[in-house]
Amino acid sequence: MKKLYFIFFIAIICSCKDQKSANHALKAEGKKVNIENAEGFSIEKFEGYSILKVKTPWPEAEKPLTYLLADENAEIPENIEYDEKIQVPVESIVVTSTTHIPALEALNEESSLVGFPGLNYVSSTKTRKLISEGKIAELGQNENLNTEVLINTNPDLVVGFAINGANKALVTVKKTGIPVIYNGDWTEQSPLGKAEWIKFFGALFGKEKKAAEIFNTIKKDYLKAREVAATSTNRPTVITGSMFKDQWYMPYGNSWQAQFFKDANANYLYSETKGNGSLSLSFESVLNKAEDADFWISSGQFTSYEQLLDQSPHYQQFKAVRDKNVYSVSLSKGETGGILFYELGPQRPDLVLKDLISIFHPKLLENYEPVFYKPLQ
């Protein structure tokens, strides 16, 4: 009889273990986080951990990068494959692009930033205050990080930015045991796609819900502004870009910059072009096509018509120059010279769009004060 009880007891234990394994298998299906506009990443949540997959960490990447975001003491299935494991929520972080900083601030996590390459490029007053207090270390340049200083900051995580994945400094950092992951927000081809990468940071800090709320508000405001722009019967013509070494570089018609012009109800004169990177055109070809364009937006680093015409008096041949309809982001800078647009613009496409609408259709947004685009002085 005792032997029968023992066998029965063992059977119950095995049954419980099998049931636990079955339940774990069900949980292993995960729940996909809703990513509406971004194409470069995905997040799947499980009990105690998430799988963050960056599909395009840089152009022409051979494969996606998979990151395991695990809660402390989480039970992780043995068959999960990943490139890096990060314990979340992250408490201290190093980021390497100014486009990452607005996401930290929106999530109220700017105080977790312990190092950054090129502090003078940071424009935000909140983060600049932390810099002035010595709470954020200067890490040199993104292409040539000061690994010694970075390692001394001892961050929980480094969020890298790369054009080809060949950053030797980040490889060195990773060998010390500091996790390194790549953010590919800059590879997105739509304004809202770039903005949605705040969910990437939300997953790192355990603030997925807040990140979703922030993005939903930005998207709602963007779509509302687009509807307002569509009510105008006037559709002005626009060019953008500028000359560099005898070539005029201009975004393709399928770029995120061109999408802003379309949504602002303007006619971008190169909207029919498609490609990656930038168009490279001669001055003569641009003059021939766009001499009578109503507006010239994002005219390089120029902040005044004097600078513009000093660089080339031939710019006077453009109607937009003669009519004083040239606008630049270079007039909106932080206290140390960083251009605000390159930091905040990708995170706040709603503000970028409203700026352009106020330029192209001023009666639609009366009393609106542009954030990024200002007329040349």
Convert the pLDDT of each residue in 11-50 to its tens digit. Answer: 444 444 444 444 444 346 799 999 999 999 999 999 999 9
**175-203 pLDDT, tens digit each:** 999 999 999 999 999 999 999 999 999 99
Nearest CA to 89 out of 76, 107, 101, 71 is that of 71
**Separation CA 69–CA 82 (nearest Å):** 10
pLDDT in the model for residue 152: 96
pLDDT in the model for residue 185: 94
Report the percent of the chain where pLDDT is more than 70: 93
Assess whether 283 and 329 both reside in one domain: yes
Assess whether 176 and 84 both reside in one domain: yes
**Separation CA 51–CA 200 (nearest Å):** 11
**Is the C-alpha dihedral spanning 342, 346, 347, 353 positive or negative?**
positive
pLDDT in the model for residue 6: 44
pLDDT in the model for residue 9: 45
Assess whether 206 and 341 both reside in one domain: no
Average pLDDT over residues 84-101: 97
Phi and psi of 76, rounded to 5°? -105, 125
pLDDT in the model for residue 178: 96
CB-based burial label for 10 (10 Å; 0-12, 13-18, 19+): exposed
pLDDT band at 59 (very low <50, low <70, confident <90, very high): confident
**Separation CA 162–CA 186 (nearest Å):** 10
Assess whether 280 and 185 both reside in one domain: no
pLDDT in the model for residue 28: 61
Assess whether 79 and 206 both reside in one domain: yes
pLDDT band at 357 (very low <50, low <70, confident <90, very high): very high
**Separation CA 117–CA 139 (nearest Å):** 4
Assess whether 47 and 85 both reside in one domain: yes
Domain that holds residue 290: 235-375
pLDDT band at 167 (very low <50, low <70, confident <90, very high): confident
Residue 230 located in a structural domain: no
Nearest CA to 325 out of 249, 239, 198 is that of 239
Distance of CA 329 to the CA centre of its chain: 18
Query: Above 50 in pLDDT, residue 87?
Result: yes
Average pLDDT over residues 208-233: 98
**313-335 pLDDT, tens digit each:** 999 999 999 999 999 999 999 99
Q: What is the pTM of this model?
A: 0.90
Q: Are 198 and 43 in contact (CB under 8 A)?
A: no
The count of domains in the chain is 2
Q: Residue 134: how many CA atoms within 13 Å on its side-chain side?
A: 0
Residue 7 located in a structural domain: no
pLDDT band at 164 (very low <50, low <70, confident <90, very high): confident
What H or E segment, with its residue span, contains residue 97?
none
Region at 273 (left for phi over 0; alpha for psi -120 to 50; beta for the rest): beta
Q: Buried (b) or exposed (e) across 48-62, using 16+ Cβ within 10 A?
A: ebbbbebbbbbeebe
